[in-house]
Amino acid sequence: MKLEDVKRLDQQDKLHSYKEEFHCDSNTYYMDGNSLGLLSKRSEQTLLTSLEDWKQFGIEGWTDGKQPWYYMSEKLGEMTSPLIGAKPEEVINTGSITTNLHQLLATFYKPSGKRNKIIADALNFPSDIYAIKSQLELHGLHPTEHLIQVKSTDQYTLSEEDIIAAMDEEVALLLLPSVLYRSGQLLDIERITKAAHSHNIVVGFDLAHSIGALPHKLNEWGVDFAVWCTYKYLNSGPGGVGGLFVHEKHLGRKPGLAGWFSSSKDKQFDMEHDLTHAQTAGAFQIGTPHILSSAPLLGSLEIFQEAGINEIRKKSLQLTRCLMDLISEKLATYNLKIVNPTEDHRRGGHISLVHPEAASLCKALKQQGVIPDFRAPNVIRLAPVALYVSFEDVYNVVLILKDILDNDKQKSFSNERGTIA
């Protein structure tokens, strides 16, 4: 693949102009949007609007501001719902992945008799496993006995067959990532959900590495619940407020962890000590919304509405394909191994490379203006995000990596992770 080839792809790209919507350093190739997305100019403006509402209206900003705070979580849920194939009432912007996971586990995990186990996986991000173990212990159960972690045969990917084989009448709930953070593998959500429901198992997914990168059909597939963060592909900013989905068949259910904002909107200020919870996903909120961490998402989601998640997915697949092809073509003689699935239907929005000097290579890349992501012990993650990465960017990143390897520039750095890997 030559430079003129990638330039032609950029000329044909329907989303190419959206790069101008983001604050991109012209001297940097940002390939870490799967950890923290870049700031868009619209997100900057909607954050400033909420600050202006606070300045101008004070407490009246809850109802009278340009972006009323009292209904912001619901508005964001409505704007998010098309990205995951949900109905607006099934989605709410609130909390974080871990707090939302605690809420939904407290709501849906009801061990009874022999049906008391939870299926997860051995490759999941640690915080999900921490939450599961905590919930088991709150029920007086022991994780070593009641948590089933499906193992990987290659340490990077999971087999849907192995996941399904772990299902039986002793399992109460299943929680898996939609896309594995380490390898970028996209699981077959529909197939897993159907199999789990045939065993009467409640199904939840963590969409952290898929929401904003690819379309979902959570309502159609019958997924019971899902959680996600918004600071990766959704570009809401560091610590941006998370989100959750609860299938319509469960709406009206009492939240496991009740709180101030679990209330029905029209009853919330009656100050009654018996909760009248919302009949929407809003019931699974707990505390007061974090407005200044939610407001940037208003601007970001406008971009998604315009660009369309299907177009974003189309370009994302083209970008990751281009990146893999260039690595195979130009770096074949080096000890780099692509460990993410290469098939389009099994690949999320980032690719994962394994190299024994992965940590030092990431440091060398940063010195050369490329922002990658390292995951211990030996994984380099590269995420060419469709909204602000071009095909020429991908081409140049591979050339920079080739130059580093050609000249052993990584040898100037220790092969140990930094504080933030």
Q: Where does 3-30+309-412 sit in CATH, by number?
A: 3.90.1150.10
Task: Give the rounded percent of residues in the chain with a pLDDT score beyond 70.
Answer: 100
DSSP 227-282: EE-SSSTT---TT---EEEE-GGGTTPPPSS--GGGB-TTTGGG--SS--B-SSGG
Name the binding residues for pyridoxal 5'-phosphate: 97-98, 125-128, 206, 209, 231, 260, 288
Indicate the domain borders of the chain.
3-30+309-412, 46-306
Query: Which tens digit of pLDDT belongs to each residue from 245-276?
Result: 999 999 999 999 999 899 998 988 888 999 99
Please check the confidence at residue 421 and state whether its pLDDT lies above 80.
no
Query: Which tens digit of pLDDT belongs to each residue from 100-155?
Result: 999 999 999 999 999 999 999 999 999 999 999 999 999 999 999 999 999 999 99
How many angstroms separate the CA atoms of 391 and 8, rounded? 9
List beta partners, residue 243: 93, 228
Q: Which amino acid is at 25?
A: D
Query: Which tens digit of pLDDT belongs to each residue from 333-361?
Result: 998 999 999 999 999 999 999 999 999 99
Q: CATH classification of 46-306 is 3.40.640.10, yes or no?
A: yes
Q: Which amino acid is at 302?
A: E
- Quick one: pLDDT at residue 420? 73
Cis-peptide into 341, omega within 30 deg: no
pTM of the model: 0.96
Name the binding residues: 97-98, 125-128, 206, 209, 231, 260, 288
How many angstroms separate the CA atoms of 228 and 205, rounded? 9
- Quick one: pLDDT at residue 64? 97
Residues 312, 317, 319, 320: is their CA dihedral positive or negative?
Answer: positive
Question: Which two structure tokens, joined as six digits, stand for 16?
Answer: 């190419």
Query: Which tens digit of pLDDT belongs to each residue from 9-36?
Result: 999 999 999 999 999 999 999 999 999 9
- Quick one: pLDDT at residue 268? 85
Please check the confidence at residue 378 and state whether its pLDDT lies above 90.
yes
- Quick one: pLDDT at residue 417? 83
Residues 283, 284, 287, 292: is their CA dihedral positive or negative?
Answer: negative
Burial of 57 (0-12, 13-18, 19+ CB in 10 A): middle
* Averaged pLDDT for residues 191-199: 98
Residues 402, 63: contact at Cβ < 8 Å?
Answer: no
